[in-house]
Amino acid sequence: MTDNGKRRTHILLACMPKSGSTFLSDIISEIGDFKRAVPLPAAGRREQELDEFYLQQVDDQDYVAQLHIRNHRWTEEMCQDYGITPIVLVRSLFDCVVSLRDHVRREGNLWPMIWLRPEHAQLDDATLDRMIARLAIPWYLNFYVSWRNAKNRLLITYEELIENPFEITKEVLGFARASVSDDQVRQAVQAVRGKAASRLNVGVSGRGNCLDHETVKGILELLDFYPESADDPYFQMVREQGRSILSGEARPRESAASRPSKVRTAKKHKRWWKDYHFVRFGAPMLLGVAAVSYGLMPNDLIPDPGFYGYVDDAVIIAMLAFLAGRLTKYKRGNGSAMRRRPDRASVQRMLRRLEYQ
pLDDT in tens, 124-134: 999 999 999 99
Assess whether 251 and 290 both reside in one domain: no
Percent of the chain with pLDDT over 90: 51
Indicate whether 43 and 133 sit together in one domain: yes
Query: Following DSSP, what letter does each residue of 85-100 receive, concatenated?
Result: EEEEEE--HHHHHHHH
> Of 258, 287, 305, which marks where a domain is finished?
258
pLDDT at 347: 46
Question: What tens digit of pLDDT does each residue of 83-114 get?
Answer: 999 999 999 999 999 999 998 988 878 888 88
Q: What is the pLDDT of residue 199?
A: 53
Closest CA to 10 of 21, 1, 23: 1
Residues 22 and 144 in one domain: yes
> Comparing C-alpha atoms, which of 225, 216, 90, 109 is closest to residue 159?
90
Question: Do 141 and 170 reside in the same domain of the chain?
Answer: yes
Give residue-wise pLDDT tens across range 59-81. 999 999 999 999 999 999 999 99
In a domain, 5, yes or no: no
Length in residues, the chain: 357
* 290 and 180 inside one domain: no
Do 252 and 307 lie in one domain? The reply is no
Q: Are residues 212 and 168 part of one domain?
A: yes
Confidence check: pLDDT of 269 > 70: no
Residue 3 lies inside a defined structural domain of this protein: no
Residues 37-48 have pLDDT tens digits of 999 888 888 889
Q: What is residue 261's predicted lDDT score, i.e. its pLDDT?
A: 41
For residue range 202-218, list pLDDT tens digits in order.
Answer: 557 788 899 999 999 99
User: Residue 84 domain-assigned?
Assistant: yes
- Quick one: average pLDDT of 241-269? 62
Question: Is 266 contained in some domain?
Answer: no
- Residue 6, helix vs strand vs coil: coil
What average pLDDT does the chain have?
A: 82
> Considering only 57-66, 158-167, 273-282, which range has the smallest mean pLDDT?
273-282
Residue-range definition of the domain harbouring residue 109: 10-258
User: Are 164 and 189 contained in the same domain?
Assistant: yes
The last residue of a domain, from among 258, 287, 318: 258
Confidence band for 354, pLDDT divided at 50, 70 and 90: very low
The closest of 103, 66, 73 to 88, measured between CA atoms, is 66
Q: What is the pLDDT of residue 72?
A: 92
Domain total in the chain: 2
Separation CA 152–CA 91 (nearest Å):
20
Boundary (domain end) residue, out of 209, 235, 258: 258
Residue 237 lies in a domain: yes
For 250-266, give the secondary structure using H, E and C: CCCCCCHHHCCCCCCCC
Rounded to whole angstroms, the maximal C-alpha distance in the chain is 93
Tell me if 90 sits within 8 A of 236, measured CB to CB: no
Q: Do 338 and 226 fall into the same domain?
A: no
Is 4 domain-assigned? no
Are 340 and 221 within one domain? no
- CB half-sphere exposure, 299, CA atoms < 13 A: 0
pLDDT at 194 over 50: yes
Confirm whether 324 is domain-assigned: yes
- pLDDT value at 305 more than 60: yes
The yes-or-no verdict on residue 258 having pLDDT over 50 is: no
**Are residues 188 and 324 both part of a single domain?**
no
First vs last Cα of the chain: how many Å apart? 30
**Whether residue 210 is found in the same domain as residue 305:** no
Q: Reply yes or no on whether the pLDDT at 141 is more than 50.
A: yes
The CATH number linked to 206 is 3.40.50.300
pLDDT band at 174 (very low <50, low <70, confident <90, very high): very high
In a domain, 267, yes or no: no
